[in-house]
Amino acid sequence: MLKSSARRYLIVMSFSLAAVGWMVYVSLTSGVYEMRVMDVIRTLLRVQPHTDYDLIIWEFRLPRILIAILVGMGLAVAGAVVQSITRNDLADPGILGINAGASASMVIFLFFYQGSIHGSGLMSVMAMPLFGLIGGLLSAVLIYIFSWKNGRMDAQRLILTGIAVASGLGAITLFFTMKMNPGDFEMAAVWNSGSVYNANWKYIASIVPWLAVLLPLIVRKAYLLDLFRLREESQIGLGISVQKERALLLLYSIGIVSACVSVSGGIGFIGLMAPHIAKQLVSGGHRRFIPLCAVIGALLVLTADYIGKTWFEPVELPAGMMIAIIGVPYFVLLLYRKNGRY
């Protein structure tokens, strides 16, 4: 049984990685300016590099692809952690208002440092995830306080409170967005809808340290995510400091979400869909589940970005909008299943 489970996991992971590789290839070679695979290989390996190919690949397509992969991985893992620590399969950083808190903080930052949204200054870009973290933490604290009932966190109140807080923070975000100058307003509007089209190497430099530190910490505590599925009394009986570990894992998740939001805006539903898709494909503990979840999240964002930029030419739809088109019906389906109506 264990060998069969391990074999299935390896097969699913291999196919998922192959799918990500295929989307990277398609995204590199397709677009307004079509390229052959050999042109891409020569450019990447610096064999007979061409000026136009250098510009297209290194300045436009490759940063965008890398940001999509990193954001998809981060949001998917954060969603898996949030679902585990709340024991609620409908939980998601976006639905719970964490994304909205990070977005509101980011828009306020961009309002007072107008021009930073264009990535003009390295220090301002590196500071963006910190501002997102502050907003994410504040929204998480508010949600945590109002979700507390009879000495414990209530799952139903958690979702309702998250929706309410997200609505309020969305109004704040809209207010500051409307106060921006026309150029920054247009960029902020696209950013708020969840887009990676403005990706650049500075954005990559700002998000990589956060993911490089926080993702391994979550994987290291994967066994706790398995135990969080038990009743709280059982967790305490096993000697787990429940509140401390839950707070740490939530902090790690908020840090990841804040870093992702700072470079891509509010891309929702990845943290909801990726864990559910992974659960449908494989079984086992979170030590296996989290890496697969990260790969599926990367695949979702890559695919959504590719469809948004190629299928609707000359108009380009943000990746967040494409994911929402799928994510909203998916959330409703999960809600009906959870309530036993499906």
List, in sequence order, every residue forming a beta bridge with 153; answer none if it has no partner.
148
Q: Within its chain, how far is the Cα of 208 from the centroid? A: 13
**Residue 41 exposed, middle or buried by CB count within 10 Å (0-12, 13-18, 19+):** exposed
Query: Beta-strand (E) ranges in the chain?
Result: 148-149, 152-153
Q: Give CA–CA dist 101/167, Å, rounded.
A: 10
Please say whether the dihedral angle defined by the alpha carbons of residues 277, 281, 286 and 291, taken in this order, is positive or negative.
negative
Cα 158 to Cα 101, 212, 218, 239, 257: the distances in Å are: 15, 29, 22, 26, 18
Residue 104: CB atoms within 10 Å: 30
pLDDT at residue 188 in the model: 73
Three-state helix/strand/coil letters over 124-158 = HHHHHHHHHHHHHHHHHHHHHHHCEECCEECHHHH
List pLDDT tens digits, range 207-242.
Answer: 898 899 999 999 888 877 777 766 666 566 656 666
Nearest alpha carbon to residue 91 among 246, 265, 321, 308 = 246
Please enumerate in sequence order all residues whose Cβ is within 8 A of that of 87, keeping only pairs 6 or more positions apart, or say none.
155, 228, 229
> Where do the domains of the chain lie, and which CATH numbers do they carry?
31-277 (1.10.3470.10)
Q: Give CA–CA dist 327/94, Å, rounded.
A: 11
Residues (pLDDT < 70) of the chain are 1-3, 49, 113-126, 149-156, 183, 187, 190, 229-242, 335, 337-342
Q: Give CA–CA dist 38/44, Å, rounded.
A: 10
Residue 79: CB atoms within 10 Å: 29
For the whole prediction, is pTM greater than 0.75? yes
Q: 117, 187 in Cβ contact below 8 A?
A: yes
Q: Give CA–CA dist 110/144, Å, rounded.
A: 27
What phi, psi does 148 have (nearest 5°)?
-80, 130
pLDDT at residue 140 in the model: 79
pLDDT at residue 75 in the model: 92
